[in-house]
């Protein structure tokens, strides 16, 4: 398939991102066993999170003196997110990079990250995910057999389609949109009058190419990296959602690591986070320009129309608050109010 080809941004972007220093002291005296761990992802190695996986591998090799080897599997080659999450929980896969959405059935509180228009900008996101949220959800992940390491960057989600630009929510009416296999996204696009079609990430390009769906929604880097611009005409910068990417280790396997090995895994996941953050933020503008040159028509959505969209999806928030639960809703709102100075 075409989206398996190298991205527009090319190898130079990978080299630049991976040149970021790990920044941790040598672990030459730590006791490491010879280990090979497998890490799964739905993105390609050219994606910022693919770059982050490579950095994590390099970091682990450096810290362990080459004893700790991480084998990376890209492009959902070990299965889509739901399958990967099940493998990690059972201990047949060591670590996976997962959006919270496929885990909502087991951890309903994670649906809070799917709420439309939860965050306003990158500054809020950075402050939020550098705060109490990691500790708050760590035990919830452990309860289903997952060891939470950190959150990586994916970016705000935007809408593309082959029919028309979206300048207001009414422009979505009647369009068939691929969405994640997640009730919040389904309800959100239903509220906008669209026809949501749940599909795995690996199925998106083919569905767009064959016109099984009119559009999809993803962050800019995913749209470029997976070459969705080849089979779409319009990209509307809706910023309707932001979903963090959790790096999750099998708790069963993580508990079998020594303290030094566990710390190395945590440190190297953080090193990967810095690569992902830098790459996504630095490359988004270049990626947009490259896609425009390829013929994709890009439009901003006005602040007034974004406010109308927020108002339109309030029933989604009200319905999901019952699923997510008052404690988590209050925790998230209190953290955002603190960040916003309220």
CATH 3.40.190.170 fits 2-154+244-283, yes or no: yes
Please determine, for residue 19, whether its predicted confidence score (pLDDT) is greater than 80: no
Residues 214-238 as b or e (16 or more Cβ within 10 Å = b)? bbbbbbbbbbbbbbbbbbbebbbbb
The predicted-structure confidence for 241-261, as pLDDT tens digits, reads as follows 998 899 999 999 999 999 999
Helices H, strands E: what count in the chain?
13, 11
Confidence at residue 47, expressed as pLDDT on a 0 to 100 scale: 87
Confidence at residue 79, expressed as pLDDT on a 0 to 100 scale: 86
The predicted-structure confidence for 66-84, as pLDDT tens digits, reads as follows 999 999 999 889 988 888 9
pLDDT bracket for residue 9 (50, 70, 90): low
Please determine, for residue 126, whether its predicted confidence score (pLDDT) is greater than 70: yes
Partners of 73 in the β-ladder: 40
Given a contact cutoff of 8 angstroms between Cβ atoms, the answer to whether 267 and 24 are in contact is yes
- The three-class DSSP label of residue 33 is coil
Mean pLDDT confidence for 191-206: 94
Confidence at residue 84, expressed as pLDDT on a 0 to 100 scale: 92
Assign domain 156-242+286-339 one CATH number from 3.40.50.720, 3.40.190.170, 2.60.120.1130, 3.50.50.100.
Answer: 3.40.190.170
Mean pLDDT confidence for 180-209: 93
Residues 6+ apart with CB under 8 A from 307: none
Tell me the whole-structure pTM to 2 decimals: 0.83
Q: Which residue has the tokens 């996941």?
A: 269
Locate the domains of the chain by residue range.
Answer: 2-154+244-283, 156-242+286-339
pLDDT bracket for residue 221 (50, 70, 90): confident
Please determine, for residue 8, whether its predicted confidence score (pLDDT) is greater than 80: no
Please determine, for residue 336, whether its predicted confidence score (pLDDT) is greater than 60: yes
The stretches of the chain forming alpha helices (DSSP H) are: 10-18, 48-63, 81-90, 122-128, 133-142, 183-191, 204-209, 220-225, 251-254, 259-293, 303-312, 314-324, 326-339
| Domains 2-154+244-283 and 156-242+286-339 agree in fold | yes
Confidence at residue 2, expressed as pLDDT on a 0 to 100 scale: 41
Q: Which residue has the tokens 């603190």?
A: 338
The predicted-structure confidence for 225-240, as pLDDT tens digits, reads as follows 889 999 999 999 999 9
Residue in 91, 99, 120, 76 with CA at minimum distance from that of residue 254: 91
Please determine, for residue 24, whether its predicted confidence score (pLDDT) is greater than 70: no
Mean pLDDT confidence for 141-146: 97
Alpha-carbon torsion angle 15, 20, 26, 31, nearest 10: -60
Integer Cα distance of 91 and 35 in angstroms: 15
More confident site: 129 or 24: 129
Please determine, for residue 21, whether its predicted confidence score (pLDDT) is greater than 60: no
Helix (H) or strand (E) holding 179: strand 176-179
Mean pLDDT confidence for 178-192: 92
More confident site: 2 or 71: 71
pLDDT bracket for residue 42 (50, 70, 90): confident
Please determine, for residue 18, whether its predicted confidence score (pLDDT) is greater than 70: no
Residues 97-129 as b or e (16 or more Cβ within 10 Å = b)? bbbbbbbbebbbbbbbbbbbbbbbeeebbeebb
Integer Cα distance of 329 and 322 in angstroms: 9
More confident site: 188 or 14: 188
pLDDT bracket for residue 99 (50, 70, 90): confident
Given a contact cutoff of 8 angstroms between Cβ atoms, the answer to whether 101 and 45 are in contact is no
Mean pLDDT confidence for 101-128: 93
């Amino acid at each position: 398939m075409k989206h398996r080809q190298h991205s527009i941004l090319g190898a130079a972007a990978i080299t630049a991102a991976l040149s970021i220093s790990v920044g941790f002291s040598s672990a030459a005296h730590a006791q490491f066993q010879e280990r090979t761990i497998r890490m799964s992802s739905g993105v390609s190695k050219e994606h910022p999170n693919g770059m982050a996986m490579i950095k994590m591998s390099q970091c682990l090799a450096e810290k362990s003196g080459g004893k700790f080897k991480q084998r990376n599997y890209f492009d959902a080659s070990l299965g889509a997110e739901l399958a990967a999450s099940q493998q990690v929980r059972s201990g047949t896969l060591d670590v996976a990079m997962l959006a919270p959405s496929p885990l909502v059935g087991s951890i309903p509180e994670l649906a809070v990250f799917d709420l439309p228009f939860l965050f306003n900008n990158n500054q809020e996101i950075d402050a939020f995910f550098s705060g109490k949220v990691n500790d708050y959800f760590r035990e919830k992940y452990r309860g289903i057999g997952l060891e939470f390491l950190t959150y990586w960057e994916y970016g705000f989600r935007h809408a593309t389609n082959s029919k028309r630009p979206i300048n207001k929510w009414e422009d979505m009416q009647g369009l068939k949109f691929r969405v994640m296999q997640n009730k919040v996204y389904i309800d959100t696009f239903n509220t906008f009058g669209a026809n949501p079609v749940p599909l795995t990430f690996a199925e998106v390009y083919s569905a767009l190419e064959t016109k099984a769906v009119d559009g999809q929604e993803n962050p800019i880097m995913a749209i470029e990296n997976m070459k969705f611009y080849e089979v779409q005409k319009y990209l509307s910068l809706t910023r309707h959602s932001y979903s963090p990417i959790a790096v999750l280790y099998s708790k069963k396997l993580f508990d079998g690591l020594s303290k030094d090995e566990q710390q190395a895994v945590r440190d190297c996941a953080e090193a990967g986070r810095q690569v992902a953050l830098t790459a996504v933020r630095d490359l988004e503008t270049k990626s947009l320009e490259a896609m425009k040159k390829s013929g994709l028509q890009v439009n901003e959505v006005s602040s007034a129309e974004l406010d109308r969209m927020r108002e339109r999806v309030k029933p989604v928030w009200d319905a999901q608050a019952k699923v997510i639960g008052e404690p988590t809703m209050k925790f998230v709102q209190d953290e955002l109010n603190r960040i916003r100075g309220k």
